[in-house]
Amino acid sequence: MGCDLFSLATSGVQGLSPYLPGKPVTELQRELGLDYIVKLASNENPLGPSGHVLAAIQAASAELTRYPDGNGFELKSALAQHLGVDLASVTLGNGSNDILELIARAFVSPGEEILFSQYAFAVYPIVTQAIGAKAVIVPAGNGQNSTEYGHDLVAMASAITANTRLIFIANPNNPTGTYVTQQQFSTFISSVPENVIVVVDEAYVEYVTVSDYPATIAWLAEYPNLIITRTFSKAYGLAGLRVGYSLSHPDVANILNRVRQPFNVNSLALTAAVAALADTTYLAQSVALNDAGMEQIKRGCGTLGLKMIPSLGNFLTVDMGQPAAPLYQKLLALGVIVRLVDNYGLPNHLRISIGTEEENQFFLKQLSVVLA
């Protein structure tokens, strides 16, 4: 074949490395033939799907020959009522990742700047490079002026230039679990020029219980350049169905809907999300399970003499005190899937999703084996 197909791709895409998800259980089973495997790699909800969600999916399955509601009216209405926002401010996505890409494509042209923090979610640099924008990565906090490993909003504000078009802030942040406070964010957002879009990625917001977490929804009316993204993949347990959403000024939502693909959220996901939103008992159980599991993992890792980054999410990033890749491989051999974060610049750390009590205990047992 004479044509170099790789050269046909845009320069941004040519330089991309694909996003690497957590290793699937079935893949490890094929490789090693293990009977019992615990996956604590992808920040998934270990509780299993809500019974109300399963019933709603079963009822909706009779209409699978029909296209889904392209406007997602029922889910958008449920979210608007639940969160106290205007229905016109809600945009639906195939997971919140879809929304993040829509925002970048809608508001940033090639060569313009997208600003985000060191150790921030891997999708931000991927989206930036894919559209030919320039990534401006601000060093994370050092524990003095801002949280260690977390967003340094003072430094991020100072990094804004005339070419900045978009800022991503994950709160809590993945993979570190750190967060910015109400006061920190209030000071930051008030200093951002109105022509710069600020995205607050709140994928783990349902797990947050601290009192100084930013009430971002209340600021939507004051800051039209603010966009909040959230997901049903974590606390609501719908990772396999891929449904997320954003909250913004209605004019921003109108712009996003111009680039959003038709039927980007499937009918089962729409139905499941409505049922999940109404199932407050399941959400409370998910949060309680996570709180208990977080303490279990923290105690176990502390007993092993390991340092951890304090986390408000459903995961904990642990400093192994040595290169983490060999430990990761040894854990795989023992039936435990966790997450390497060397691609985030943390080669000595492993990110551990919070599982059930049994799963957490199995992980801690095997971790003690590989560290011995």
Across residues 252-260, what is the average pLDDT?
A: 95
Q: What is the mean pLDDT of the chain?
A: 93
* Between residues 298 and 32, the one the model is more confident about: 298
- pLDDT value, residue 2: 65
User: Prior bond to 193 cis, omega within 30?
Assistant: no
**Structure tokens belonging to residue 79:** 């979210």
pLDDT at 179 over 60: yes
- pLDDT value, residue 29: 73
**Which residues are registered as beta bridge partners of 116?**
137
- pLDDT value, residue 269: 97
User: Among 351, 363, 27, 307, which Cα is nearest to 177's?
Assistant: 351
- pLDDT value, residue 155: 96
What band does 33 get if pLDDT is binned at 50, 70 and 90? confident
d(CA 130, CA 128): 6
Across residues 112-124, what is the average pLDDT?
A: 96
- pLDDT value, residue 142: 86
pLDDT tens-digit readout, 37-46 = 899 999 999 9
Q: Which fold has domain 5-48+281-371?
A: Aspartate Aminotransferase, domain 1 (3.90.1150)
CATH of 51-279 among 3.40.640.10, 1.20.120.1200, 2.70.70.10, 3.40.718.10 = 3.40.640.10
Across residues 124-141, what is the average pLDDT?
A: 94
pLDDT tens-digit readout, 216-249 = 999 999 999 999 999 999 999 999 999 999 999 9
pLDDT tens-digit readout, 142-175 = 877 778 999 999 999 999 999 999 999 999 999 9
**Dihedrals φ, ψ of 70, to 5°?**
-65, -25
pLDDT at 357 over 80: yes
196, HSE (Cβ side, Cα atoms, 13 Å): 25
Residues 6+ apart with CB under 8 A from 205: 171, 172, 213, 230
Per-domain residue ranges for the chain? 5-48+281-371, 51-279
- pLDDT value, residue 35: 82
Query: Which residue in this structure is represented by tokens 């047992």?
Result: 365
